[in-house]
Amino acid sequence: MSQLAFITGATSGIGRATAEALAAKGYRLALAARNGEKLEDTAEDFRMKYNAEVTVWPLDVRDRDAIRATADKVMETCGVPDVLVNDAGLARGLEPYGETAPDDIEQMIDTNIRGLFLVTRAFLPAMLERNSGHIVNLGSTAGLYAYAGAAVYCATKAAVKTFSDGIRIDVIDSDIKVTTIQPGIVQTAFSEVRFHGDKARADAVYEGVDALQAEDIANVIDFVLSQPKRVQISDVVIMANQQATGFMVSKKKKS
Ligand code: NDP
Ligand code: 8X3
């Protein structure tokens, strides 16, 4: 039977592009996100294009009981995932911490940290029992370099990196691999979500920058997953050509 990938945040941006890359490779997919309609559309697209075997799992990763129930059902109906991509995540707001809305603080922590930790906790014992599996966590250059107005988002992504490093130690005696993917500026719905739907402000982030595309990150994830059993890629940092640290991006036109 072909390999199974469970992907959170699979309806948009990096998660969707990763799902598509794996569908093209013949993986079976179990896709999760909150919006069930978008999940169905995504799944149908991959079925049409790649004849892919796709199941959809409407899930809010902030809901602990729903994570448990979903993971159990996925494993019962599809099997234990060979690949877990913890992609679901977001930034909310870009202002000094003293002005950051408490709801935004909680949403970032609950989604990017708590959700990712609990989804991993739900699948890891079964992976360990089978002694195989690859956990791919979406960190960010924001987790390596803090930037103004993003203390919480940056801290959540630093947590993802440290968490990955921690569980890699815990599974050292097994064949399980753990990878943190740390992209820089990727042009997705990310900024529109950050700015609470302000599309003009979101578009301005990418203006004058040859930003990374979701497919660029999906290619890297595909590469990471395609290595021989002996090779574990622990971390990958991917920046745009015009980027030097987390939020330092040149908007000067190159000749
Ligand atoms: P998008 O906004 O395009 O996609 C985010 C995905 O996460 C959507 O499918 C969304 O679906 C899902 N999601 C959001 N909240 C939840 C939730 N509570 N439960 C389940 N699913 C959820 O963003 P990106 O593709 O850009 O971001 C994906 C990941 O990559 C994030 O973790 C982000 O932090 C990280 N990243 C992004 C970078 C960028 O510049 N874009 C750079 C570095 C890292 P739905 O709304 O239906 O739930
Ligand atoms: C998203 C990239 O630089 O906007 O993690 O924080 S950045």
Counting ligands in written order, which one lies closest to the CA of residue 187?
1
Answer whether 185 contacts ligand 2 (Cβ < 6 A).
Answer: yes
Answer whether 179 contacts ligand 2 (Cβ < 6 A).
Answer: no
Q: Which of 27, 157, 161, 206 is catalytic?
A: 157
Judge whether 157 counts as a catalytic residue: yes
Cross-strand pairs, 249 = 243
What torsion do the CA atoms of 104, 106, 109, 110 make, to the nearest 10 degrees? -120
Q: Give residue 253's pLDDT.
A: 62
Q: Give residue 252's pLDDT.
A: 74
For a mutational test of ligand 1's pocket, the pick from 161, 190, 192, 237, i.e. the residue with the most ligand atoms closer than 8 A to its C-beta, is 190
For a mutational test of ligand 2's pocket, the pick from 161, 193, 243, 247, i.e. the residue with the most ligand atoms closer than 8 A to its C-beta, is 247
- Is residue 182 within 8 Å of 160, Cβ to Cβ? no
Answer whether 140 contacts ligand 2 (Cβ < 6 A).
Answer: yes
Residue nearest to atom 32 of ligand 1 (CA): 89
Answer whether 206 contacts ligand 2 (Cβ < 6 A).
Answer: no
Tallying the residues shown for the chain, one arrives at 255
Q: Give residue 254's pLDDT.
A: 58
* Alpha-carbon span 143 to 156, nearest angstrom: 7
What predicted TM-score, i.e. pTM, was given to this entire model? 0.98
* Alpha-carbon span 106 to 92, nearest angstrom: 10
- Strands ordered across the beta sheet of 177-183: 54-58, 28-33, 4-8, 83-86, 134-138, 177-183, 235-238
User: 11-39, pLDDT tens digit by residue?
Assistant: 999 999 999 999 999 999 999 999 999 99
Angle formed by the axes of helices 116-130 and 151-170, nearest 10°: 10
Nearest Cα neighbor of 166 from 236, 111, 234 is: 234
Name residues of the chain where pLDDT drops below 50. Answer: none
* Alpha-carbon span 245 to 185, nearest angstrom: 10
* Alpha-carbon span 70 to 119, nearest angstrom: 9
> What would you report as the CA-atom Rg of the chain, rounded to the nearest whole angstrom?
18
Counting ligands in written order, which one lies closest to the CA of residue 145?
2
Ligand 2 centroid to residue 90 C-alpha, Å: 9
Nearest Cα neighbor of 51 from 30, 16, 74, 27 is: 27
Q: Give residue 12's pLDDT.
A: 98
Q: Which of 38, 50, 73, 153 is catalytic?
A: 153
Cross-strand pairs, 122 = none
Q: Give residue 248's pLDDT.
A: 84
* Alpha-carbon span 114 to 65, nearest angstrom: 13
Ligand 2 centroid to residue 77 C-alpha, Å: 36
CATH of domain 4-184+212-238: 3.40.50.720
| Phi (first) and psi of residue 149, to 5 degrees | 80, 5
Q: What share of the chain is helix, strand, coil (3-state, %, to 5)?
A: 45, 15, 35
Residue with tokens 């939020």: 247
* Alpha-carbon span 187 to 13, nearest angstrom: 8
